A = this chain, B = another copy of it.
Amino acid sequence: MTDFAATRPLFDLPEGVIYLDGNSLGPLPRAAAARVARTVTREWGEMVITGWNRAGWMAQPRALGDRIGRLIGAAPGTVVVGDTLSVKVYQALAAALEMRPDRRVVLSDTGNFPTDLYMAEGLISTLGRGHELKCVAPETVEDHIDGEVAVVMLTEVDYRTGRRHDMARLTRAAHAAGALTIWDLAHSAGALPVDVAATGADFAAGCTYKYLNAGPGAPAFIYVAPRHAETARPALSGWLGHAAPFDFEPAYRAGRGIDRMRVGTPPVIQMAALEAALDIWDGVDMAALRARSLALGDLFIAEVEARCPALALVTPRVHRDRGSQVSFRFAEGFAAMQALIARGVIGDFRAPDIMRFGIAPLYIGEDDIRHAAGILQEVMEGRLWDDPAYRQRAAVT
Contact = CB atoms under 8 A, between A and B. Distances in A.
Interface of A: 12, 14-15, 17, 19, 21, 24-25, 27-28, 32-33, 36-37, 40-41, 43-53, 57-59, 83-87, 90, 94, 110, 113-115, 117-119, 121-123, 125-129, 135, 207, 209, 215-220, 233-242, 246-252, 263-271, 273, 341, 346, 348, 350-351, 394-397
Contact of A250 (B25, B117, B119, B251): B117
Contacts of A236: 86-87, 90, 119, 122
A264 B215 contact: no
A92 to B, nearest CB: 13
Contact of A396 (B37, B135, B235, B246): B246
A110 B48 contact: no
B264 A86 contact: yes
Q: Please tell me how many copies of the chain the complex holds.
A: 2
Nearest to A19: B48
Given A40-B32, A40-B215, A94-B126, A238 B84 contact: yes
A58 B269 contact: no
B237 A118 contact: yes
Given A21-B48, A118-B252, A121-B237, A273 B269 contact: yes
A140 B270 CA distance: 41
Contact of A21 (B49, B114, B126, B241): B49
A131 B15 CA distance: 58
Q: Which of A83, A209, A250, A265 has the most CB of B within 10 A?
A: A265
21 contacts: A12-B45, A19-B48, A21-B49, A33-B41, A36-B269, A37-B40, A57-B216, A83-B83, A87-B236, A87-B238, A87-B263, A114-B242, A115-B264, A117-B251, A118-B241, A121-B251, A122-B234, A122-B235, A246-B395, A247-B351, A267-B267
A350 B248 contact: yes
A240 to B, nearest CB: 8
Q: Which of A236, A266, A395 has the most CB of B within 10 A?
A: A236
4 tightest A-B CB contacts, nearest first = A84-B264, A122-B237, A115-B239, A216-B268
Contacts of A12: 41, 45
A8 B62 CA distance: 36
Nearest to A25: B49
A53 B41 CA distance: 28
Contacts of A84: 83, 238, 263-265
Given A84-B264, A242-B114, A264-B84, A216 B269 contact: yes
B36 A217 contact: no
A266 B336 CA distance: 28
A83 to B, nearest CB: 7
A53 B396 contact: yes
Given A118-B251, A217-B268, A246-B395, 14 more contacts: A12-B41, A14-B45, A25-B44, A28-B40, A28-B45, A36-B269, A52-B395, A115-B240, A118-B241, A217-B271, A219-B267, A246-B396, A248-B351, A269-B270
